[in-house]
Amino acid sequence: MYNFDFVKPSSIADAVAALAGEDAQPLSGGQTLIPSMKARLNAPGTLVSLTGIPELVGVCREGDMLVIGAATTHAQVARDAAADFPGLAALAGQIGDPAVRNRGTIGGSLANNDPSACYPAAALGTGATIVTDRREIGADDYFQGMFTTALEEGEIITAVRFPIPQASAYAKFVQPASRFALTAAFVARFESGVRVAITGASENGVFRWAEAEAALSSDFSADAIAGLACSPDEMIADLHGTAAYRAHLVGVMTRRAVAAAG
Partner 1 sequence: MGKVTMTVNGRARSAEVEGRTLLSSFLRDGLELTGTHVGCDTSQCGACVVLVNGQAVKSCTAFAADLDGAEVTTVEGMANPDGSLGRIQQAFQDYHGLQCGYCTPGMVMSTAALLAENPKPTEEEVRHYLEGNICRCTGYQNIVRAVMAASGQDVGALAAE
The residues that touch partner 1, with contacts defined as CB under 8 A, are 1-6, 8, 27, 30-31, 34-35, 37-38, 47, 49, 51, 75, 96-100, 102-103, 177, 179
* Least separation in angstroms between CB 235 and partner 1: 26
* Least separation in angstroms between CB 187 and partner 1: 23
Give the contacts of 55 (CB within 8 A, at least 6 positions apart): 11, 12, 69, 158
* Least separation in angstroms between CB 87 and partner 1: 19
* Least separation in angstroms between CB 239 and partner 1: 17
* Least separation in angstroms between CB 155 and partner 1: 21
The Cα–Cα gap between 141 and 143 comes to 6
Closest Cα to residue 80, out of 58, 98, 99?
58
Name the residue nearer to partner 1 (CB basis): 31 or 199: 31
Name the residue nearer to partner 1 (CB basis): 44 or 251: 44
Name the residue nearer to partner 1 (CB basis): 43 or 226: 43
Helix, strand, or coil (residue 172): strand
The Cα–Cα gap between 198 and 52 comes to 33
Name the residue nearer to partner 1 (CB basis): 26 or 125: 26
| 251 backbone dihedrals φ, ψ, rounded to 5° | -65, -45
* Least separation in angstroms between CB 36 and partner 1: 10
Residue 135's Cβ-count burial label (10 Å; 0-12, 13-18, 19+) is exposed
- Whether 133 and 156 have beta carbons less than 8 Å apart is answered as yes
DSSP string, 96-129: S-HHHHTT-BHHHHHHHT-TT-SHHHHHHHHT-E
Name the residue nearer to partner 1 (CB basis): 3 or 192: 3
Exposure string over 62-97, b if 16+ CB within 10 A, otherwise e:
eeebbbbbbbbbbbbbbebbeebbebbbbbbbbbbe
* Least separation in angstroms between CB 51 and partner 1: 6
